[in-house]
């Protein structure tokens, strides 16, 4: 045969594309949910762990199955598998989440869903002392009631302003639907607080509708401070109810949302309490003690452009647990018209944006901006600009011969709030409870503020399946101004203990901080959670 014919035949054959691979369909979905101290792990062979497992109600298979965005008979789509994993990891009581497909023939595959429960009956305890002022928070909470993802909790909280008991109930699957029920009640020394909500969220990137009803009723004393002194308080009575409806369009991770809101709110100030005559006589306090009451009927429009995807991180805010974080852009606009039965009608507009950047698996940056303004009686007022940025840089453990350097994370937070022509009552503050460690409760007050935090988190190598320890040198700086200028900066050392078998790898934070300027001695605080979070 002529070699030329062979060459032509080979060229034609090579140019024909291979047949497209036939998409697989899901035959069966298998759920393998391990207990908190499952005997499959060698560390949990002791009888005490087996006894603890009997006390713990394991997450029900039906709950896990309902969070998976694929069903038997559906096409196997990897992106839906990854999103289903994120849905399961969103719950504090599930960890080690993985969904693996296994081909069984040319047309079908099985899905194997693996999860591991965490201990969900959690005591809450925090304590702090700064210049003689003590704070305390004691409670108990069950985050996976009857293995159905429901949260039931009670707590006692004492601050410099009030004390009281509170209770809450959260159900992410109200009557086995995707509706989420939220009920909270507080009986306080200066009043009460009731909040409720029933919402249908965007539960996946393909969801088209979200809607919900929320409301509340509260009565409390709103305190105002002058140079750390509790000067006066307004009795604040607030009632509200709102309904939201949002429609989404677009491709996955390229979403546009348009929504409407309808609501009613009432804000009353029945009485005033003077706590310190000298401090209450200052202009900063006086301008907050005669506010206008409001009764509003609101109707609004909002639009969101969402261009975010998700990446996996470890050891940013948590110990060893996967942290699903967005990267991309998110922008929104909102316009609300308020019919005020107690005064002038007004229109409030706001613009918001978020930019998140994942340079690699070691660096993460997020920045948020929100600007809002109100137009009332032909004038602009209530201008608020809020800016915040968080930056994380990781350095993994490295081996130098017999020596291994510990895993490290540098974390920084910069936030600021700028205001102008605000309605009374309004006051911004900084102190121990608001990110400026080492200074008393609401030491600095004004109408504008900025806060800068640095933490160098050194994760010690002595880590196991139960807990990890982190040593954290830190520094805080805060600036509050108008009408007066106040600046404080502090430094300190802290310890973070990550309990890996508690929901969301709960972190116990112990900090000792001492002020470097305008100081009154150091402070010690014990609480759960980081001093600042990524989102």
8 Å CB contact between 309 and 328:
yes
Domain assignment present for residue 495? The answer is yes
Residues 482 and 407 in one domain: yes
Return d(Cα 409, Cα 392) in angstroms, integer.
7
* Residue range 120-156, pLDDT digits in tens: 887 777 776 655 567 788 888 899 999 999 999 999 9
| CATH number, position 343 | 2.40.160.50
Residues 127 and 109 in one domain: no
| CATH number, position 36 | 3.10.20.310
Picking from 117, 136, 163, the residue at the C-terminal end of a domain is 117
Domain assignment present for residue 533? The answer is no
Residues 355 and 239 in one domain: yes
Name which residue leads in pLDDT, 400 or 356: 356
Q: For the whole model, what pTM was predicted? A: 0.85
At 261 the three-state DSSP class reads: strand
At 430 the three-state DSSP class reads: strand
Picking from 79, 98, 117, the residue at the C-terminal end of a domain is 117
Using the Cα atoms of residue 66, residue 84, residue 352 and residue 426 in order, give the sign of their dihedral: positive
Q: What is the mean pLDDT of residues 35-63?
A: 83
Return d(Cα 82, Cα 102) in angstroms, integer.
15
Q: What is the mean pLDDT of residues 237-242?
A: 97
Residues 83 and 196 in one domain: no
Domain assignment present for residue 6? The answer is no
Residues 443 and 398 in one domain: yes
Residue 504's pLDDT is what? Answer: 53
* Residue range 413-439, pLDDT digits in tens: 999 999 999 999 999 999 888 899 998
Residues 26 and 164 in one domain: no
Residues 97 and 133 in one domain: no
* Residue range 211-226, pLDDT digits in tens: 999 999 999 999 999 8
Domain assignment present for residue 320? The answer is yes
Q: What is the mean pLDDT of residues 478-492?
A: 90
- Tokens coding 182: 């939220």
Return d(Cα 441, Cα 248) in angstroms, integer.
43
Residues 102 and 194 in one domain: no
Residue 401: pLDDT over 70: no
Picking from 63, 96, 117, the residue at the C-terminal end of a domain is 117
Domain assignment present for residue 11? The answer is no
* Residue range 165-202, pLDDT digits in tens: 999 999 999 998 999 999 999 999 999 999 999 999 99
8 Å CB contact between 241 and 213:
yes
Domain assignment present for residue 138? The answer is yes
> Which range of residues forms the domain containing residue 57?
21-117
Domain assignment present for residue 16? The answer is no
Domain assignment present for residue 349? The answer is yes
Dump strand ranges (E) for 291-362: 294-313, 323-340, 346-360
Residues 145 and 59 in one domain: no
Number of domains in the chain: 2
Residues 185 and 127 in one domain: yes
Beta carbons within 10 angstroms of residue 186's beta carbon: 19
Looking at every residue in the chain, the average pLDDT score rounds to 89
Nearest to 236 by CA among 223, 226, 249: 223
Residues 133 and 152 in one domain: yes
Residue 14's pLDDT is what? Answer: 46
Q: Model confidence at 55, in pLDDT bands (50, 70, 90)?
A: confident
Return d(Cα 88, Cα 170) in angstroms, integer.
17
Residues 404 and 483 in one domain: yes
From first CA to last CA, the distance across the chain in angstroms is 71
């Amino acid at each position: 045969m002529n070699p030329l014919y062979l060459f032509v035949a080979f060229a034609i054959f090579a140019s024909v594309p291979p047949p497209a691979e036939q998409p697989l369909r899901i035959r069966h979905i298998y759920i393998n949910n391990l207990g908190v101290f499952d005997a499959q792990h060698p560390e949990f062979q002791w009888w005490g762990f087996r006894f603890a497992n009997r006390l713990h109600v394991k997450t029900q298979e039906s709950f896990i199955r309902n969070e998976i965005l694929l069903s038997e008979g559906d096409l196997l789509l990897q992106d839906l598998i990854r999103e289903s994993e994120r849905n399961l990891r969103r719950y504090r009581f599930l960890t080690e989440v993985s969904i693996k497909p296994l081909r069984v023939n040319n047309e079908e595959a099985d899905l194997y869903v693996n999860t591991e429960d965490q201990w969900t009956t959690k005591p809450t305890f925090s304590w702090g002392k700064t210049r003689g002022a003590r704070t305390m928070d004691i409670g108990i909470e069950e985050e996976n009631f009857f293995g159905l993802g429901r949260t039931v909790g009670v707590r006692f909280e004492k601050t410099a302003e009030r004390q009281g008991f509170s209770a809450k109930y959260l159900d992410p699957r109200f009557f086995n639907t995707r509706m989420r029920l939220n009920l909270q009640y507080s009986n306080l020394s200066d009043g009460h607080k009731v909040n409720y909500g029933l919402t249908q969220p965007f539960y996946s990137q393909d969801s088209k509708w979200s809607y919900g009803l929320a409301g509340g009723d509260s009565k409390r004393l709103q305190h105002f401070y002058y140079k750390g002194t509790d000067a006066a308080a307004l009795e604040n009575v607030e009632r509200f109810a709102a309904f939201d409806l949002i429609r989404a369009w677009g491709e996955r991770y390229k979403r546009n949302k348009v929504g409407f809101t309808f609501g009613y709110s009432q804000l009353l100030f029945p009485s005033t309490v003077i706590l310190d005559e000298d401090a209450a006589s200052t202009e900063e306090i006086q301008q907050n003690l005669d506010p206008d009451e409001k009764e509003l009927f609101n109707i609004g429009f909002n639009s969101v452009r969402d261009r975010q995807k998700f990446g996996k991180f470890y050891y940013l805010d948590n110990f060893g647990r996967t942290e699903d974080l967005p990267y991309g852009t998110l922008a929104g606009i909102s316009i609300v018209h308020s019919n005020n039965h107690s005064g002038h009608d007004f229109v409030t507009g706001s613009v918001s944006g978020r930019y998140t950047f994942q340079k690699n698996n070691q660096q993460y940056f997020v920045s948020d901006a929100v600007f809002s303004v109100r137009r009332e009686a032909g004038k602009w007022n209530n201008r608020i600009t809020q800016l915040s940025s968080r930056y994380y840089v990781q350095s993994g453990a490295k081996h130098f011969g017999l020596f291994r350097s510990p895993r490290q994370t540098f974390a920084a937070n910069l936030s600021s709030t700028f205001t102008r022509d605000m309605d009374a009552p309004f006051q911004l503050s900084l102190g121990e409870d608001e990110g400026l460690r080492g200074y008393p409760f609401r030491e600095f007050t004004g109408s504008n503020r900025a806060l800068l935090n640095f933490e160098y988190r050194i994760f010690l190598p002595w880590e196991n399946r139960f807990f990890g320890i982190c040593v954290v040198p830190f520094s805080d700086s805060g600036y509050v101004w108008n009408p007066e200028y106040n600046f404080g900066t502090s430094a300190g050392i802290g310890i973070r203990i990550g309990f890996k078998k508690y929901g969301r790898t709960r972190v116990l934070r112990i900090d000792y901080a001492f002020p470097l300027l305008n100081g009154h001695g150091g402070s010690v605080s014990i609480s759960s959670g980081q001093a600042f979070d990524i989102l």
